């Protein structure tokens, strides 16, 4: 009898940084014990763009079966998620990892379409790893893998295939990282500008500036960066620093621009454009410092 695979459930990996909202830097494999279980029960894990599908064979052991039939078996499938982008945390909202001792843990819960505890992946999803002989508590037992015996996964996903508990669609959603954007004028011709300023020009499509306080919002399209402030550089020179007025969210394709101007008049808001579109932060580099107040997490962009 020919086999025919159908979807038992699927999981979408989401991330606010990417243009299409899908998080592709994640790969996955079933845990060794789950792989044996899947083979015995006619189940298959398959990749899809930005996610995975758990399939079942509708003609298993010589007879037809439905999705409901599979769920009556009361199986649990463990999936190991691996991170394929070494810069992932540079554009992802920080997670308080204890490297080598903690792992993100996701599982399906009744009435929840997210596999994590909150609306976004957070520190609440972090669990300590433990050996099989220890009492788990708030810990996750790490099963040794014959294929990768010394590797600790980025995350562990447990799918409980129980009636009334397994939905057809799930999501794991990561929030994009927000930092203070710090433009630093380094080139002499830029430092000699008269009354320089950097303006954030909003877009009708996206606005990466967080506006948590409604009292700070204005109807003006242009928003002024704080500065200039003279700052020391590593080569004993000085630069002119401009800091964003609020945290700005990282995006693969920013839908707004920052502009360098001179002869800026704060009263009339008249100015002369010097560089119409400034570069955005490089997500491969996240620096930490304290040039201005409350800027422990900032993204530096040097202008020469």
From 246, 241, 254, select the one nearest 281 (Cα to Cα): 254
Instruction: Express each pLDDT in 46-104 by its tens digit.
Output: 999 999 999 999 998 788 999 999 999 889 999 999 999 999 999 999 988 877 778 99
The C-alpha torsion from 273 through 184 and 178 to 14, rounded to 10°, is 80
CA distances from 74 to 68, 71, 111, 170, 285 (A): 11, 6, 18, 19, 46
Whole-model pTM? 0.83
Instruction: Express each pLDDT in 239-296 by its tens digit.
Output: 999 999 989 899 998 877 899 999 999 999 899 999 999 999 888 875 554 444 445 6
pLDDT at residue 205 in the model = 34
């Amino acid at each position: 009898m020919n086999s025919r695979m159908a979807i038992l459930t699927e999981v979408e990996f989401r991330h606010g940084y990417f243009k299409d909202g899908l998080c592709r830097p994640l790969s996955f494999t079933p845990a060794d014990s789950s792989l044996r279980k899947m083979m015995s029960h006619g189940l298959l894990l398959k990749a899809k763009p930005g996610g995975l599908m758990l399939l079942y064979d509708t003609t298993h052991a010589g007879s037809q079966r439905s999705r409901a039939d599979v769920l009556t078996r009361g199986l649990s499938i463990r999936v190991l998620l691996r991170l394929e982008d070494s810069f992932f945390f540079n554009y992802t909202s920080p997670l308080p990892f204890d490297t080598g001792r903690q792992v993100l843990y996701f599982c399906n819960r009744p009435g929840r379409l997210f596999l994590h505890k909150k609306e976004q992946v957070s520190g609440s999803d972090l669990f300590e790893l433990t050996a099989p002989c220890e009492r788990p508590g708030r810990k996750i037992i790490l099963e040794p893998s014959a294929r990768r015996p010394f590797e600790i996964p980025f995350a562990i996903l447990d799918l409980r295939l129980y009636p009334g508990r397994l939905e057809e669609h799930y999501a794991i959603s990561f929030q994009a990282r927000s930092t203070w954007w710090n433009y630093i004028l380094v080139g002499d011709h830029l430092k000699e500008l008269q009354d320089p300023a950097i303006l954030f020009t909003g877009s009708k499509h996206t606005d990466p500036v967080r506006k948590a306080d409604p009292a700070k919002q204005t109807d003006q399209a242009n928003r002024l960066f704080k500065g200039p402030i003279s700052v020391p550089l590593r080569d004993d020179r000085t630069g002119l620093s401009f800091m964003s007025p609020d945290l700005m969210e990282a995006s693969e394709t920013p839908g707004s621009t920052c502009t360098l101007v001179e002869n800026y008049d704060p009263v009339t808001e008249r100015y002369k454009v010097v560089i119409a579109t400034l570069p955005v932060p490089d997500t491969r580099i996240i620096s930490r410092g304290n040039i201005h107040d409350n800027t422990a997490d900032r993204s530096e962009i040097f202008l020469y």
